[in-house]
Amino acid sequence: MIPFGSTPSPREKLEHWLEEALEPTGRLPFSFRYGGSPSAGLLRTCAFTKEVRALDAGADRITAAYQLADGLQATVQCTYYKDTPAVEWSLSFRNNGGKNSAVLEHVKPLDLGVEYSPFRTAGTQQYGAHDNILYYSGGSDCKADDFLPLQEILHYISNKGSMHFGSLNGRPTSGSHGCFPYFNLKTQDCGVILALAWGGQWELDLQLQAREPGSSAACFRFSGGMPGTRLFLLPGEQISTPRVLVMPWSGEVDDAQNSFRRHMLRRHHPHIDGRPVRLPVSATCWGTDEQDHLRQLELIERSGLPVDAYWIDAGWYGKPGTHCNEKTSNDWSDNVGYHEHDPLRYPDGLRPVSDRARALGMKFLLWFEHERAVYGTPATLEHPEFFLGERKKGAHLILNLGDPKAWQWMFNNISTKITDYGIDILRVDHNVDPLAAWEANDPPGRHGITQIRCVEGFYRLWDALLERHPGLVIDNCASGGRRLEFEAMGRSVALFRTDYSCYTDNSPTGHQMMTCGLGKWVPVSSPGGSFSDRYTFRSMMNQGISISVGEIEAALNDPDRLAELRAMFAELERVRDLYAADLYPLTNVTVCNRDWLAYELCDPAKNRAAVVCFRREECPFEASRFRLKGLRPASAYRVEDAGSGETVVRTGRSLMEEGLPVTLGQPRSSALLYIDPDASL
């Protein structure tokens, strides 16, 4: 159990907990049933080994193995990140016996108690000093409220004895009725962040007012993993389960979230040559044809905009005569399963386009969707045994990444394309819910095995591609942001965080909220869409952003618009790297058009910050005042309005205690304020 209280420190809590957490005679942080018996009893008398070694300067690796008499071995590989501090672990099972194992079920790689602060007895929804509050976020469903921050006040007098969370239909961050697999429990002036990582279906249950065996301490019990696992293991067979992250904290909730953001950037964000991948400014276009792409690249060069990547989305493939090259045609989707370029539109493949992009200083991004194939396309006819799902005209089939032959076939296919086409950024889409196909493929007595093998294959495929092609970046797109769990994020970046951007009625309000709602858990992301004015552009700012080539081409015929675009991108460049620093919401994060929304970006190491404010279109209030965070009290700062150029010098103490006043005279207006060190005071 993680103890309550601001003392000892989070690091001391974790180290004390780790001394006993994995001992078979203690209260283990995972559970399962095997042969009808609970693991707590089975493991007390098992053969047990534990090994500790340094992983790197900031982390230790602990491997604990529990061997049962019949040959089943449960292994926990636990990593203690001393620099955060946080702990992560994964639970796996192997049948070391000579015959099929007994039934393994109710597998919970997370089964952990968190001691809570004294409850208030009032059944009110007002906050109090002793509240226990659970913070989390909704999933993605192509709507304005994607990643909406949510919270529950957990009272002593409660209508709920438990709460249940989970994903929808096999994509881990899918659906506004699902939720993100990241949680932050505040217990007075301390708390704990918990997360599950699994590229498929997951669930988490929170039991209120639980008690640890043999202890008088009351706690919340978090238990979760992949639902529905009930299977036996073949001799020599091994399976994985979802990965768990636990990070205790003390102090303020916002500071805890920023500690988590730093951990994600250090440990679960791609690095190349030891440096974190910086999300690009991208120019996007449809598949079209070689000559059109070469023309569009020259337009980007003429525009003078700071474009880092040339992005070809869907539609470059298909047999001659299809309309995949037309964005308004559904041929791009109906022909998924063609893995070759259209030879009429690309007589020399994609290499002439990628070479020209790099010659102009841009990376080359290309869209793929290899886990889905429409029945009747070449992939499904050449290798029908590699796909799951109902084989009928127009059906969307799922690639069985758990099949070693299917895995190798797809790895070879993608790897060859990366080399031949000169791909720098591999955009991986995933526009189908796989759960039903996975479950339909499970053999009798082995429920869950197909999902387990496909998720293992998914991670292994990305790892193998990254190893084979040093410097490759994977863009994680699953209908936008539906696969953003932390294992996937360690291998990829999110360059199109939601497909909400695809719809013409997408609103700045939604994008403003997503920057704060998603940013709590996934530090940097990139929105896409069209920005008609500075208000919309600022609503979509992040470390990365994308603009359509069509918008660039239109601006080349409108000098005023081109000047405006250049000015907007200059604003972004000045704050772009701050999106990888600390993030402080300065208002409630809502999708209400009568509200202000404001947030602060702060880099303590460089002693600089920025504030982004929005007075939304129906908001009646002209002025607001924001108390900033993370600054040095004794330092002087120059506060510069990006729009007017006006500056004022303030101390960090006054900005944090008295606040920063902002006036926006009109609804649907914004302010961007740079906060840099000043030596004049």
pLDDT digits (tens, 9 = 90+) for 420-435: 999 999 999 999 999 9
Predicted confidence band of residue 170 (pLDDT cuts 50, 70, 90): very high
pLDDT digits (tens, 9 = 90+) for 89-128: 999 999 999 999 999 999 999 999 998 876 655 555 555 5
Residue % of the chain over a pLDDT of 90: 85
One domain, residues 237 and 276 = no
Helix (H, G, I), strand (E, B) or coil at 234: coil
Please list, residue by residue across 640-672, b when 16 or more beta carbons sit within 10 angstroms of its beta carbon and e when fewer do.
Answer: bebeeeeeeebbbeebbeeebebebeeebbbbb
| DSSP 8-state secondary structure symbol assigned to residue 490 | T
CATH number of the domain to which 633 belongs: 2.60.40.1180
One domain, residues 99 and 181 = yes
Work out the average pLDDT over 450-454: 99
One domain, residues 513 and 623 = no
pLDDT digits (tens, 9 = 90+) for 358-415: 999 999 999 999 999 999 999 999 999 999 999 998 899 999 999 999 999 999 999 9
Helix (H, G, I), strand (E, B) or coil at 625: strand
One domain, residues 602 and 473 = no
Predicted confidence band of residue 218 (pLDDT cuts 50, 70, 90): confident
> Where a domain ends, among 267, 300, 317?
267
pLDDT digits (tens, 9 = 90+) for 496-513: 999 998 887 789 999 999
> Where a domain ends, among 252, 267, 282?
267
Give the whole-angstrom CA distance, residue 581 versus residue 631: 13
Work out the average pLDDT over 337-358: 97
pLDDT digits (tens, 9 = 90+) for 15-31: 999 989 999 988 899 99
428 Rama sector, left if φ>0, alpha if ψ -120 to 50, beta otherwise: beta
Does pLDDT of 177 surpass 80? no
Does pLDDT of 214 surpass 80? no
pTM: 0.96
pLDDT digits (tens, 9 = 90+) for 224-236: 999 999 999 999 9
Position 105 in a domain:
yes
Count of CB atoms situated within 10 Å of the CB of 271: 12
One domain, residues 570 and 585 = no
Does pLDDT of 327 surpass 90? no
Q: What is the dihedral of CA 32, 35, 37, 43, to 10 degrees?
A: -70
One domain, residues 449 and 506 = yes
Contacts for 212 with CB less than 8 Å, ≥ 6 apart:
1, 27, 113, 219
More confident residue, 602 or 156: 602
More confident residue, 495 or 119: 495
The three-state DSSP-derived secondary structure of 78-113 is EEEECCCCEEEEEEEEEECCCCCCCCEEEEECEEEE
pLDDT at position 329 is: 81
pLDDT digits (tens, 9 = 90+) for 481-491: 999 999 999 99
> What does pLDDT average to over the chain?
94
Position 394 in a domain:
no
One domain, residues 453 and 355 = yes
Predicted confidence band of residue 209 (pLDDT cuts 50, 70, 90): confident
> Where a domain ends, among 579, 612, 631?
579
pLDDT at position 35 is: 98
Give the whole-angstrom CA distance, residue 599 versus residue 673: 11
Position 391 in a domain:
no
Name the residue range of residue 417's domain.
271-370+403-579
Residue 185 structure tokens: 């429990």
Position 378 in a domain:
no
Residue % of the chain over a pLDDT of 70: 95
Chain-centroid distance of CA 383 in Å reads 32
Any long-range contacts for 94-99 (C-beta under 8 Å, 24+ apart)?
A: 94/233, 94/236, 94/237, 94/238, 95/71, 95/233, 95/234, 95/235, 95/236, 95/237, 95/238, 96/67, 96/71, 96/72, 96/236, 97/70, 97/71, 97/72, 97/235, 98/71, 98/235, 99/235
CATH number of the domain to which 286 belongs: 3.20.20.70
Does pLDDT of 626 surpass 90? yes
Position 441 in a domain:
yes
Give the whole-angstrom CA distance, residue 62 versus residue 629: 37
Work out the average pLDDT over 448-462: 99
Position 296 in a domain:
yes
One domain, residues 125 and 246 = yes
Does pLDDT of 157 surpass 50? no
Does pLDDT of 577 surpass 70? yes
Measure the CA angle with vertex 445, ends 443 and 449; round to 5°. 60
pLDDT at position 176 is: 59
Work out the average pLDDT over 547-558: 97
Whole-number Cα distances in Å, 223 to 76, 78, 155, 166, 657: 16, 17, 20, 12, 41
CATH number of the domain to which 92 belongs: 2.70.98.60
One domain, residues 219 and 316 = no
Work out the average pLDDT over 547-573: 98
Does pLDDT of 280 surpass 90? yes
Chain-centroid distance of CA 147 in Å reads 10
Does pLDDT of 523 surpass 60? yes
One domain, residues 141 and 41 = yes
One domain, residues 55 and 128 = yes
pLDDT at position 119 is: 62
Asked whether 345 and 324 are in contact (CB, 8 A), the reply is: no
Position 472 in a domain:
yes
Position 396 in a domain:
no
**Number of domains present in the structure of the chain:** 3
Does pLDDT of 57 surpass 50? yes
Strand partners, 63: 51, 77
pLDDT at position 321 is: 84
One domain, residues 51 and 79 = yes
